[in-house]
Each structure stands twice: as C-alpha cells, then as structure tokens.
Amino acid sequence: MPAVRARTTKELGRIGPGLRRIMGNMGWLMVDRVVRMGMGLFVGVCVARYLGPVQFGSLNFALAFVALFATLTTLGLEGIVIREVLHHEQPVFAVIHCN
C-alpha cells in the first residue's frame, strides 16, 4: 500500500496545481451529489411511511403536475435575460430582479 501511495503522490506532483485543484473540486461535487441523493432517498422514505400510499401518491401527483408547468414557465427565459444583460448598460441585478 505505501508503494501505491508513493506512486500516486509522484504522479499528482507531475500534473500541476491547477489540475489537482480541479480534481479536488470534482471530488467534492461528486460527494455532494451522493449525499444529496442519499438524503433525498431518506426523506422520501420517511415521508412515504408517514403519509401512507394514498396521500403519498396524491403528493407525488401534485408535485409532478407543478413540475410539468414550471418547466413551461421558464422556457426561453434564460436566453432573454442573457440578451438583456449583454445589450444594455444596466446593472445585472436590475435585469434579473425585474424578470
């Protein structure tokens, strides 16, 4: 095991500090995603057990219905905000706040 660690440390020394920092950030992002998925599963199981099958099904139907129309409301909004920020001399927070 020490030989593997020494070889890994030697290879990391060659890749440079920029790539090492990127790899570290990617690792933290992966850990964040795994923790979020685990917590989401835990909360979902707890809510399902608390509500029961009928109420949990109703909750999921309502969430799916809202999510369906939430995607329609933001359709194209990102492009409009980017265009407005690039073409006008207003502060960015003013454009984002009014949209």
Using one digit for the tens of pLDDT, what is the confidence trace for 55-98?
999 999 999 999 988 887 778 777 877 787 788 776 766 666 65
The DSSP code for 90 is: S
**Please, which contacts does 35-40 make with residues 24 or more away whose CB atoms are closer than 8 Å?**
none
- For the chain, domain boundaries: 1-51, 53-99
Could you give the angle at the alpha carbon of 84 between the alpha carbons of 94 and 71, nearest 5°? Answer: 90
Q: What are 7-38's pLDDT values in tens digits?
A: 666 666 676 777 878 888 999 999 999 999 99
- Answering whether pTM is above 0.85, one says no
Residue 92 pLDDT? 65
**At which residue do the structure tokens 């890749």 appear?**
15
One-letter amino acid of 81 = V
